[in-house]
C-alpha cells in the first residue's frame, strides 16, 4: 500500500534524495501508480489527455492497448469537439498529450479529417486574453490560460509571450483573480518557465523572473510552515512539478524535496487526475518535458504491466454496518436564499455521491441534483435547481467541519456522524 510512508521515506533517503538533488521515487512505487492510473481508464467515458501525458512522462507502456486506445480517442475527440465546445484549457491538454506521444498537433488525423489543433488553441487563447484585458478576468480561468500558454510554448507555435506577460502581472498583482493559489500558480509557473527560455526582451525576462521567484518562494515558504504540504494533497503534484522546473529562479535557496515527497508517500492516491499530476514529479519530470520525450526510448522503459481493457466500474463489497451522515445545502449568494438539512442512513464505505442520491430519493423536491463527468471525476453542476455558472464564477463547494473536501463526490467517503455541507459559492 502506498500509504506506508515511513519506510518509503527512509528508502528515499537511502537512494540519495537530498535538499540539493532531484528526488525520484522508487521504481516499484512508480509502477504501482502507473498500473492504478491505467486501470482507471474506462472505455465508456471520454479519454483523459492528462492520463496519457502522465503515462508517457513516467515511462508507461506506449505499445499497450490502454495507451493506443487513449491516443486514438484523444485524436478523435479533438477532431469532433475542439472547434465546438471545448474550453481553451481542454484544447491545450489535448495538444500536450499529443506532444508527449510524439504526434504533431498541427496535423491531427482522425475520422477521415485533419485538424490544426494549434490554430484552434490560438483562437481560444485570444478569446481568453480579450476578456482578460477588457474585464480583468479571462473567459474561463487563469488556470486554463496557464495551460494554453504552456501548450503554445512547448509547441513552439508563437503566441505565448503575450499571455505570459499577463499571467506574470496577475501573479504579482495584490488584486489577482487567481482563485486556487496552488493549482493555478503552479500551472502558471510551468508556463512562465517555458516562455522564459524563448524571450529576448530584457524587460519581459525580468517580469517573468520576478513572477517565478514569487511563486516558487511562496511554495517553499508554505512547505516549511506545513511540514511538507503545499496546498492540499491533490494539488501537490503540480506544486512539485513547478518547484522542480523553477529551481534556477529560487536559487541559491534549496528545496527540501525529500520533505515534500514524504507527504506524497503518506497518501494512498486513488483519484486518477491526482495520480496523473503527481506521477511526472515522482520521476523527476514536469509538463515542461512533454515535447522532448524520445518515444522509442520511452517504449523500452515500460514497466510492462499488461492490463485488460475492461471498463473499471466502481464496485463496493457488501458493507457490514450502516452509518448516518448529516447533509445540508445552502445558498446565501444568488436569487432566493435557502438552507435545508437532512440525515440519511447509508452502508459503511458509501461515497458522498451515494449519500446525495439517498437524500434525493427521500426528498427529490429539495435535494435533487445534476452532475457532469470531468477529468477530475464527477462534478456537481446543480443542486435544488440552482446551477453553477462559469460566467458568474459560481460553483457548489462541499465542506466538512468548515474545511473544503480534498476529494470529489464520487470518491469521498463520509464517516458516521459526519456533517457534509454543500454551499453555493463564488471563486
Burial 97-124 (b: 16+ CB within 10 A, else e): bbbbbebebeebebeeeebebbebbbeb
Which ranges constitute the DSSP H helices of 82-200? 88-100, 117-135, 142-154, 161-172, 181-196
| CA nearest neighbour of 46 among 78, 87, 89 | 78
CA distance 147 to 164: 11
Farthest-apart Cα atoms in the chain, separation: 66
Euclidean distance between CA atoms 41 and 308, whole angstroms: 10
Q: Is 269 annotated as a binding residue?
A: no
Which residues, at least 6 apart from 421, have a Cβ–Cβ distance to it below 8 Å? 328, 329, 330, 398, 399, 400
Whether residue 257 contacts residue 23, with contact meaning beta carbons closer than 8 Å, is answered with yes
Is 132 annotated in a binding site? The answer is no
**Cα separation of 258 and 23, whole Å?**
7
Bridge partners, 372 (sequence order): 379
Residue 85 makes CB contacts below 8 A (sequence gap 6+) with none
183 labeled binding residue: yes
d(CA 93, CA 70): 13
Angle at 276 between CA 420 and CA 152, to 5 degrees: 115
CA-CA distances (angstroms) from residue 424 to 176, 382, 399, 408? 22, 9, 11, 16
* Cβ–Cβ < 8 Å for 269, 406: no
**Has 327 been labeled as part of a binding site?**
no
154 is in an annotated binding site: no
The reply to whether 108 sits in an annotated binding site is no
Question: Over 295-352, what HEC string results?
Answer: HHHHHHCCCCCCCCCCCCCCCCCCCCCEEEEEEEEEECCCCCCEEEEEEEEEECCCCH
Question: Is 380 marked within a binding site?
Answer: yes
Give the closest residue to 233 by CA, choosing from 268, 194, 192. Answer: 268
86-89-90 Cα angle (round to 5)? 45
Q: Is 145 helix (H, G, I), strand (E, B) or coil?
A: helix
**Annotated binding residues for cyanocob(III)alamin:** 183, 232, 277, 379-380, 405, 427
Binding site members: 183, 232, 277, 379-380, 405, 427
Amino acid at each position: 500500500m502506498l500509504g506506508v510512508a515511513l519506510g518509503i521515506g527512509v528508502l528515499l533517503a537511502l537512494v540519495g534524495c537530498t535538499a540539493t538533488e532531484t528526488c525520484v521515487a522508487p521504481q516499484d512505487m512508480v509502477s504501482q501508480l502507473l498500473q492504478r492510473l491505467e486501470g482507471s481508464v474506462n472505455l465508456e467515458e471520454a479519454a483523459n489527455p492528462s492520463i496519457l501525458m502522465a503515462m508517457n512522462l513516467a515511462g508507461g507502456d506506449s505499445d499497450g492497448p490502454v495507451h493506443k486506445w487513449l491516443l486514438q480517442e484523444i485524436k478523435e475527440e479533438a477532431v469532433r469537439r475542439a472547434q465546438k465546445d471545448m474550453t481553451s484549457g481542454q484544447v491545450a491538454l489535448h495538444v500536450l498529450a499529443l506532444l508527449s506521444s510524439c504526434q504533431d498537433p498541427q496535423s491531427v488525423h482522425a475520422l477521415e479529417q485533419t485538424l490544426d489543433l494549434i490554430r484552434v488553441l490560438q483562437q481560444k487563447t485570444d478569446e481568453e486574453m480579450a476578456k482578460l484585458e477588457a474585464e480583468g478576468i479571462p473567459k474561463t480561468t487563469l488556470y486554463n490560460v496557464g495551460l494554453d500558454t504552456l501548450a503554445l510554448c512547448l509547441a513552439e507555435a508563437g503566441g505565448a509571450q503575450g499571455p505570459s506577460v499577463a499571467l506574470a502581472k496577475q501573479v504579482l498583482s495584490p488584486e489577482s483573480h487567481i482563485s486556487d493559489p496552488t493549482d493555478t500558480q503552479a500551472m502558471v509557473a510551468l508556463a512562465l518557465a517555458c516562455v522564459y527560455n524563448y524571450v529576448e526582451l530584457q524587460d519581459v525576462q525580468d517580469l517573468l523572473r520576478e513572477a517565478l521567484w514569487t511563486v516558487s518562494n511562496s511554495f517553499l515558504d508554505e512547505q516549511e510552515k506545513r511540514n511538507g504540504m503545499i496546498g492540499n494533497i491533490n494539488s501537490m503534484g503540480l506544486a512539485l512539478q513547478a518547484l522542480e522546473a523553477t529551481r534556477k529562479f529560487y536559487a541559491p535557496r534549496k528545496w527540501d524535496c525529500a520533505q515534500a515527497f514524504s507527504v506524497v508517500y503518506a497518501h494512498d492516491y486513488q483519484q486518477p487526475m491526482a495520480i496523473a499530476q503527481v506521477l511526472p514529479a515522482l520521476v523527476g519530470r514536469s509538463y515542461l518535458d512533454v515535447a522532448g520525450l524520445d518515444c522509442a526510448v520511452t517504449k523500452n522503459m515500460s514497466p510492462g504491466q499488461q492490463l485488460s481493457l475492461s471498463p473499471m466500474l466502481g464496485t463496493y463489497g457488501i458493507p457490514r454496518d450502516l452509518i448516518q451522515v448529516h447533509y445540508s445545502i445552502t445558498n446565501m449568494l444568488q436569487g432566493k436564499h435557502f438552507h435545508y438539512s437532512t440525515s440519511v442512513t447509508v452502508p459503511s464505505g458509501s461515497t458522498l455521491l451515494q449519500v446525495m442520491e439517498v437524500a434525493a430519493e427521500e426528498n427529490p423536491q429539495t435535494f435533487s441534483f445534476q452532475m457532469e463527468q470531468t477529468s477530475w471525476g464527477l462534478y456537481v453542476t446543480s443542486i435544488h435547481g440552482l446551477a453553477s455558472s462559469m460566467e458568474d464564477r459560481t460553483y457548489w463547494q462541499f465542506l466538512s467541519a468548515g474545511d473544503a473536501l480534498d476529494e470529489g463526490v464520487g470518491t469521498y467517503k463520509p464517516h458516521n456522524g459526519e456533517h457534509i455541507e454543500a454551499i453555493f459559492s463564488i471563486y
